[in-house]
Structures are given as C-alpha cells and as structure tokens.
Chain A
C-alpha cells in the first residue's frame, strides 16, 4: 500500500521549512521578551549561596574565559555574577586566559560603571586583562600573582592599585567565580587553583555542551556550576528575589528571556523528532509491505 501523500511530502521535506520554523519558534519569544518562572535547582542555590554567604567586601577572582561565540549562553551568567558581587560589595578581580575574553570583561566594567557608580576602579574592581600562556598562567599566579600581573589593563602598576595590596598569590581569594566556554577554563581553575588549597572555593558557569565533563568535580572540588542557560535563568530568579532592585533595572533578565526561547526550541525539537519517527514508520513500513 502506498503511503499517504502527506507522509510522502514529509519524507522529502525541504529542510528550509525546518529552518523557517526554527526562526519563528526562537524569534517570537526573543522579540516579545516573554519570561517564564524558573524553579531554582539545588545546585544553582549552592552557587548563589557561595557568593551570598561570603562576608561583605570579600575578594572574588572572576576569570572570564570565553569568547563571543559562547556569548548567548555565558554573557547572562557573567552579568548575573557581576551584579550579585556588586550588591554584596565584594572586591572584583577580573582577568582572562582567552585573548577574546578582554572584550567580555569590558562589558562587566560597563555594567559596574553604569549601574553601580559608587564602584571605583582600583578600589572596588580591577581589570587585569589577558596574559598569554593558557593554563600555565593559572599555575603561575597560584604562587606569584604580581609576578605575572604587574599592571592592570590600563597599564597602572599593581603597586599603585589599592585593592591589589596584600594579593601575593591565589590564596588571597576565598572564592573563584569562573565563566568558561572550554579548555583552558573551569577544569584548569579547579585543578590548579582551587583543589590544592582548603581555603579556596570555586563556582562556575559553563556552556551546556561542556558541562558533562565537569560534573565529576562536584561537590568535593567545586561547589557547583551553572550549566547552560536554564541554570542561568534560575540564578536570575534567585537574584531578583533577594535583590528586587536589580529586576527594576533594564536588560537584567537576559537569561530568563533566552530561556523562554530555548524552552520553545526544546518543544519544537521534541515535536520534530516525533514527526521524523512517524514519517519513518509510515514510509518504511508501507514501503516494505509492498
């Protein structure tokens, strides 16, 4: 028996129809800015508490090891971490071991200067920029921080930066908050910087595809991580609940908006997978029975 014409049409469906459907499904939530409520998972709560439970004014190292290709997933996390730390008045030390990371740090500096005008460069935050050497950079600053970072991104010697006084090595930071899109990144910060010292905790943010390689480090070597845009949206939810003034600022819920688009895309993919299998069963079975 011949398959129904609808199944034959679907079996030879031009992929441009699927491309069009993807644009529609992802585009509508992004353009309308619809936000769905997220229930924070225990791991996201752990990450949130790691920053929130630190005494006010603690030194937090924020290595941002990602580039614009991972911006969609990681930029909202980096922004949420920056705002959270600023609300807690922590001292922020930005650096990167990825050359393109300098631009991503610049975006955090813009947030601080626009939303937290009281935050002063060199006193409350410092941009230490990029150093070549990948994971060896981490290995170096474990023992000798100013030996490698002798000046900030603007060329100011670290000896003239008030918040750099007393920072001799990695042990000057009770918490590392790394946002990473691959190697070298979160894995190396766990292995070289956090694991050897009992006094240093680490949390992270990473892309969904990289997350599977990092779960083995939780919870003994890393408190937790935000793996993809859903945990980032959950983190925003926690942030808005505790600090409602952040929610009132413009464009502070990017992860939540992106999550709605991702949610729509997930349902679309499930539908496409089911449809693809129905097409296979209808056309193959009927073709075989002839």
Chain B
C-alpha cells in the first residue's frame, strides 16, 4: 500500500491536475508553482549525480579495476573544479567587505580559467575529431553498392555542394524554366519537402507515443517508474 498505491495516487493526482491547469486560466498559478518545485527538486538531482559519480569511481580505484587511473583523474578533476568554483578562488568581490560576493565565473577567476583553458579546448577537441572519422568513413563506407546507397550518396553530394558558396555557381547559368534544377533549389526541396515530411511523421509518432505512455503512468497501468519490488 505505502510502496505502490500511495505513490501511484500522488502521481495520478498531480499529473491530471497539471493537465487540467493548462486548460483552466484560474489554475495557471498552480502550474507555475509546481514547476518551481520541480526546479528545486532538479537541483538535488545534481547532488545525487555527483554522489553516484564519486562512489562508482572510488569503487573502481579501491578494487584496482582496469583503467582505475582514469577514475583517479576524474575524481581529481571533479574535486579541483568544485573547490575553485565553490571557493571562488581569484574572484574579486562584487561588494567591498564581502569576499565571496563575486560571480564564480568572473573573467580572470580560477573557475573561468579552468573553463576556458581546460574544459573548452578538451570538449572542442573531442568534437573536432569527428572530422577525421567522417573523412575516413567517406572514403570507405560511402559507396554506391545498390540503388538505396546510390540515392543516399547523390543526396549527400548535392547537399555538400549546395552548402558551399561556390557550389551553386555550377548551376547558376541555368535558364529560369529550369530553375528547379539549380543546386540551391534542389537542396531546398530535399530539406523542405523530403526531410520535413519525414521529420513531421516521426514527431507525430513520438507525440502519440508520449500521450499513450503518459496515460498509462497516470492511470497506474505502467508502474515501472516505481522500480522492482
């Protein structure tokens, strides 16, 4: 009863109440209030996430599992960033007499330095490595082995060409009656017709799925969110 029925009743009541509030101007304030509660609860999720991260990495280190040194680096980086952020090291105060009154992200502060000179280059580097894998994959995998692959290949080349400033010049000389065959117009048709149609169909499908799953949760049919007994 305490473990299952009451949580289901709370979820159902809150869920239906919030749906109702979207259609009742008088209940608008409650929708906003509950959203604020959610935002506060979401802040606690960060503490949970940090605790989980630390416990899993500490376990790896204590058990000397393969790659435990990476866990050590993770914990040192986490702790270091947390200390410079919470301690507002190198941050000048916004109000005289209140040493911690400055914003932790103030330019020149230690956290700002870590963000700009450690985190930004690392994250950008990770993303930039994709370019190398794309070039390798373009050479080995992008091959016209059948009709479907050929269509995909032609589409990719057209979009790649149209996404340059000089590519559309190739078809610039086409007369107006053949304007549909200009590179930028072909790209426009691919994106605005084929892509948008496909995306809309997927979005409608997802929305219907969300409605059906939400109803199952609110009516207590789907109880998986409560975990196993």
Contact = CB atoms under 8 A, between A and B. Distances in A.
Contacts of B38: 133, 136, 140
Contacts of A156: 94
A68 to B, nearest CB: 4
Interface stretch (A57-65, A247-255, A258-266): A258-266
| Dominant SS among interface residues on chain B | helix
A188 interface: no
Nearest to A106: B105
Interface string A127-139: 1000111101101
A140 B46 CA distance: 19
B144 interface: yes
B101 A270 contact: no
Interface in B170-200: 184, 191-192, 195-196, 199-200
A156 B102 CA distance: 10
Contact of A72 (B43, B119, B127, B168): B127
A148 B124 CA distance: 31
Given A133-B38, A215-B191, A36 B156 contact: no
Contact of B29 (A70, A143, A267): A143
A56 interface: no
Contact of B161 (A70, A137, A266, A277): A266
B36 A132 contact: no
Interface in A1-59: 13, 15, 18-19, 21-22, 26, 36-39, 41
A167 interface: no
Contacts of A270: 157, 160-161
B142 to A, nearest CB: 5
Q: Classify chain B: how many residues form its interface, as a range.
A: 35 or more
A70 B31 CA distance: 33
A103 B38 CA distance: 24
A155 B39 contact: no
Given A15-B136, A132-B43, A39 B165 contact: yes
21 contacts: A18-B132, A26-B131, A68-B123, A68-B124, A72-B127, A102-B105, A127-B103, A139-B32, A140-B32, A140-B35, A140-B39, A147-B36, A155-B101, A155-B103, A266-B161, A269-B134, A270-B160, A273-B142, A276-B139, A276-B142, A280-B144
What are the nearest 10 A-B pairs in CB distance?
A133-B39, A140-B35, A68-B123, A143-B32, A68-B120, A133-B42, A132-B42, A69-B123, A69-B127, A276-B139
Given A22-B135, A147-B36, A148-B39, 9 more contacts: A72-B127, A100-B119, A140-B32, A147-B32, A153-B103, A155-B94, A216-B203, A263-B164, A273-B138
Interface of B: 28-29, 31-32, 35-36, 38-39, 42-43, 45-46, 94, 101-103, 105, 107, 112, 115-116, 119-120, 122-124, 126-128, 131-132, 134-136, 138-140, 142-145, 153, 156-157, 160-161, 163-168, 184, 191-192, 195-196, 199-200, 203
Interface of A: 13, 15, 18-19, 21-22, 26, 36-39, 41, 67-72, 100, 102-103, 106, 110, 127, 131-134, 136-137, 139-140, 142-144, 147-148, 153-156, 212-213, 215-216, 228, 230, 259, 262-263, 265-270, 272-273, 275-277, 280
